Amino acid sequence: MTPTVPTSAEATRRLLVLASALFAVVIGQAQIFMGWGQSPAEFAADSDATLRVTGYAFAIWGIIYGWLLVYAVRQAMPATPATPLLKALGWPSVGALLAIGVWIVAAAFDWETSTIVLIFGALLVLLIPLWANAGAIRALPRRDGDRWMTVWPLALLAGWLTVAAPVNLLTVVTGNGDLPSVLPPTDWAILAVVTVGVVALTVTARLRMLAYALPVSWGLMGVYTAEQSRNPPLALTAMVVAIAVLAGAILLVLRHRPAGSVADGDVKADTSAASR
């Protein structure tokens, strides 16, 4: 993979990535310190009769925001080479960062349908290019800058959104009385937890990075903590799935040996050297 000097169009994209990251972080902190509307934790706690995540779990946003700022600043620096992964993930990250920033506003003012569209949109706009470029991601050397300052922050965000999106959905449909009666509420919650676990292991098996699985496991343990006294079967399921995700992800990553490079000009190449 031969990096190239950023063009004018690439420089514009990099500035927009930086601006969208700052927007996402600033709007989140503004809501906390200025206290307008509901906080994300308060929004999640509203109508959480089906599936609940304990409040401390939302502290992970501090880590995610910090790492996203590292990504945004690093990719905006003129000295940072225009690698294929930066190009492939740049515009999707703009969409995701804007979406999570606007989500804060939507949650604060209880615009319920908008929160669902925004959170699933942010998840998909990150997950699809991460999946599509998995060959290049798996081939990144251990100390590569794109591994730690591009893929890790974006995968961390995608992992947390993988937990938050179904919680958001179940919170809204429960509060509106729209939860389908074909299954009891506990069964819907268990189905959501198991689905999140399957998605987490499937994506980790393709990326071979812990970054995606760690926030998923953290979020599921947050479900366990919140539900252990209220809904023991759901809590037990969440704990088992959280442990399975973490253990499975560690095994997948330990078995992987990244190649030194990927094929020139094809960021999506799934080379045999990168596949394990």
pLDDT of residue 41: 77
Res 258: pLDDT:
65
Q: Please report the pLDDT score of residue 1 as a whole number.
A: 45
- Both structure tokens of 200: 């987490």
Q: Return the pLDDT at 173.
A: 94
For residue 249, is it within any domain? yes
Q: Is residue 269 part of a domain?
A: no
| Domain ranges, residue 49 | 8-254
Which pLDDT score is estimated for 238? Answer: 98
**In-domain check, residue 263:** no
Write down the pLDDT at residue 262: 40
AA letter at 227: E
Strand partners, 157: none
Asked if residue 250 is part of any domain, the answer here is yes
**Phi, psi dihedral angles at 82 (to 5 degrees):** -80, 75
Would 248 be classed as within a structural domain? yes
Query: Residue 189 falls within a domain, yes or no?
Result: yes
Q: Determine which helix (DSSP H) or strand (DSSP E) holds 30, and give its type and residue range.
A: helix 8-34
Quote the distance between the C-alpha of residue 102 and its chain's center: 16
Which residues, given as ranges, of the chain have pLDDT below 70? 1-6, 258-276
DSSP assignment of 132-173: HTHHHHHTS-TT-HHIIIIIHHHHHHHHHHHHHHHHHHHHHH
Distance, in Å, from the CA atom of 72 to the CA atom of 134, rounded to the nearest integer, reads 21
Helix (H, G, I), strand (E, B) or coil at 4: strand
- Give the phi and the psi of residue 130 in degrees, each rounded to 5: -60, -45
Residue 265 falls inside a structural domain: no
Phi, psi of 198 (to 5 degrees): -65, -45
The per-residue pLDDT for 154 is 98
Instruction: Return the HEC string of 167-199.
Output: HHHHHHHHHCCCCCCCCCHHHHHHHHHHHHHHH
- What pLDDT sits at residue 269? 38
3-state secondary structure of 82: strand
Q: Which one-letter amino acid corresponds to residue 129?
A: P
Residue 192 within a domain: yes
Domain count, the chain: 1
